[in-house]
Structure 1
Amino acid sequence: MLSRTASDLYWMSRYLERAENLARMLDVCYSLSLMPQAGRTDGNDELAMALLSTGTLEVYQQRHGELNAERMLQFFALDEDNPASIYCCLQAARSNAHAVRGRITADMWENINATWLEMRGIAEQGLGRYGISRFCEWVKERSHLFRGATSGTIMRNEAYSFIRLGTFIERGDNTLRLLDARYEMFGEESEEVSDRSARGYYQWSALLRALSSFEAYAGVYRGSPAAGKVSELLLLRPDVPRSLRACVEELNHILASLPGDNGRPAQRLAAELEARLRYTSIEEVLDEGLHAWLSDFIGQVRQLARTIHGSYLEVI
């Protein structure tokens, strides 16, 4: 497969996954921001988690100054000048899909093209009139439909592999960044909060819901969500679809199946990361410090993405 084609497929799926992840995060942070906590009523701290996890806090402050809920929601949902907005992610995904129209199925193209056309209509209508919760649910639904069309219609060839590579790189990175953003917002409190704390319960529950893991947590652990158990679930359990370990295992499997010798550096790094997660306990993670461990692994996932790009996606 040509590197340019592989790159377009890879980034198409990354942008779609990124849009869904942003929608999940916005929906949960917005809901949490409406709940008065510790005498606060503005909820800006919860919404600021989105800025921290995407690394856009400084960009937002340069353009808009003080944190404002309405401006932050617009910034992440429909801002055409914010590359990290859902609007720009869906626009980029559609552009990549158009470039590889001949390598994806009609169902996939029709889904992503219709999503972009609807996105433009929502932008014209405005978020205030459409509704933030309704908008986030729409983004998630369109992402699910695209994955369903992909799974049900495309051949299991290299195109399919690069689509899945993009999905799991983006998903694993998102899980790490959401956990780390929560730590940056609440510091040591995020590791020491009591199971009986209403604030801690809602914060950890919000994080689990953002990653569709609340039901999984309830099925595995007893009691209210707390740092150690939530971190173990989202980092080390292979049976949770959005956990870091599940994503890395998928990446390792996909890379190992690609032919040729060019991908050996990426294959080796993915295998090393999977082994690290397989044989690491949550006690070791917490002893090292959750923030330090997360920061290190964010760098490792970023390095894997660069290695994949150098091995397969650079146009020679």
Structure 2
Amino acid sequence: MLSRVAENLYWLGRYIVRAENTARLISVHSHLLLDLPRGMTLGWSPLIDILGANEAFVERFGGDGALSEANVVRFLITDTENRSSVAASIAAAREILRIVRDSTPRDAWEHLNATHLFLQERGERHLPRAQRQTGLDRVIDTMLMMRGILGANMSHDVGYQFMRIGMNIEQADMTTRIVDVRTVDLIQSRSSDELQPFQHIQWMSVLRSLTALQAYRRHEKIRVSGPAVLRFLLQDRGFPRSVLYGLNAVSYALPRLPAYRGSERSIDRVRALIQDANFERLLERGLHEWIDEIQIGIGAIHEALTLSYFKPGEPPPPAQGSGVQTQTMTA
């Protein structure tokens, strides 16, 4: 398989998962308004933080004064200048499907193209809160349908493995981003004492953002709490949106590819950090710094795959901080 075809299939998987997760984030964030009491406001800046698109938003709309619901929703759904928006992710996936149409089912193109045209023609009409959920539901349903069509009708050869790897890396990355930002400053109130009674709402919002609330209740059988939610979303081996599940899925796919050892070492380092974590202690002393290490590790997995398969022979990039994963997010 040509390296450019492998890279296209890898990014196809990433863009499908990115569009779905972004749509879910906006949907859950909008519904959270109904759960909060009067006197507490819902900030929209965390959605920009989750996608690592702060600089792009400032360039597009200006400073903090522009962080209104209307601007953020437009930026994340229909703004094609934001390369992490729903519309931009679907457009990029559509272009990849056009390029690799010989390797993917025709049904996938038809469904994705229909949603792409829907966002182009009627996306702006579905930005106001009254119509927003209808448009987001269509995006989510299409992305889930894409997963089903590609998984059921595409030969599970090397190309499929690259796409599967892309899906799981993107999901692991999105899960860490959602946990990192949503557990810090999702709800804005006048004082920390005022916020304390509603901590469970915040943790339930984290679960809902990943469609994990029902699975959490079935698996944990305890009240929603910070440490238990973190264990489920980061360490659970059976839930497809958990970080450890995604890393294991990538590890299972790698043996079907040639010369995969470099990528396996990067995965092992991140898995060790997650498996050894004490979440009660991390919540007290610094969850953000620990998640930053996980995100850097996921970025290193992406770089290892890129150097091994997509751009072989290139020298490795210089060491970076958390910006590695921001660059991955906006690719």
Which deviates more, 151-160 or 111-120?
Answer: 111-120
Distance (whole Å) between structure 1 residues aligned to residue 203 and residue 93 of structure 2: 31
Give the aligned partner of residue 108 of structure 1: 108
Distance (whole Å) between structure 1 residues aligned to residue 79 and residue 218 of structure 2: 38
- After TM superposition, give the deviation of residue 265 of structure 1 in Å: 0.8
Unaligned runs of 5+ in 1: none
> For residues 166-245 of structure 1, what are the structure 2 equivalents within 5 Å?
166-185=166-185, 197-245=196-244
Distance (whole Å) between structure 2 residues aligned to residue 279 and residue 241 of structure 1: 20
SS state at 1:156 partner: coil
Q: Is the 8 A contact 1:6 1:159 kept in 2?
A: yes
Q: Is the 8 A contact 1:193 1:200 kept in 2?
A: no
Is 1:277 the counterpart of 2:274? The answer is yes
Root-mean-square deviation over aligned CA pairs: 2.6
Q: Is the 8 A contact 1:265 1:307 kept in 2?
A: yes
Q: Is the 8 A contact 1:234 1:243 kept in 2?
A: yes
Which deviates more, 117-126 or 228-237?
Answer: 117-126
Distance (whole Å) between structure 2 residues aligned to residue 71 and residue 58 of structure 1: 14
Q: Is the 8 A contact 1:51 1:57 kept in 2?
A: yes
Is 1:248 the counterpart of 2:243? The answer is no
SS state at 2:211 partner: coil
- After TM superposition, give the deviation of residue 31 of structure 1 in Å: 1.4
Scaled by the length of structure 2, what TM-score is found?
A: 0.84
- Per-residue CA deviations over 1:266-305 (Å, capped at 9, x if unaligned) read 1222234334434545456557631121010010001111
- Give the count of matched residue pairs: 307
Cα distance change of structure 1 residues 221 and 180 upon mapping to structure 2, 3 Å threshold: same
Distance (whole Å) between structure 2 residues aligned to residue 177 and residue 308 of structure 1: 21
Give the aligned partner of residue 135 of structure 2: 135
Seq. identity, %: 28
Is 1:303 the counterpart of 2:300? The answer is yes
SS state at 2:102 partner: helix
Scaled by the length of structure 1, what TM-score is found?
A: 0.88
- Per-residue CA deviations over 1:5-58 (Å, capped at 9, x if unaligned) read 0011111111111010100111111111355447134x2x1x221111111224
- Per-residue CA deviations over 1:59-99 (Å, capped at 9, x if unaligned) read 32343231211111111111122112111110011011111
> For residues 250-269 of structure 1, what are the structure 2 equivalents within 5 Å?
250-258=249-257, 260-261=258-259, 263-269=260-266
Unaligned runs of 5+ in 2: 314-331
Q: Is the 8 A contact 1:236 1:282 kept in 2?
A: no
> For residues 144-183 of structure 1, what are the structure 2 equivalents within 5 Å?
144-183=144-183
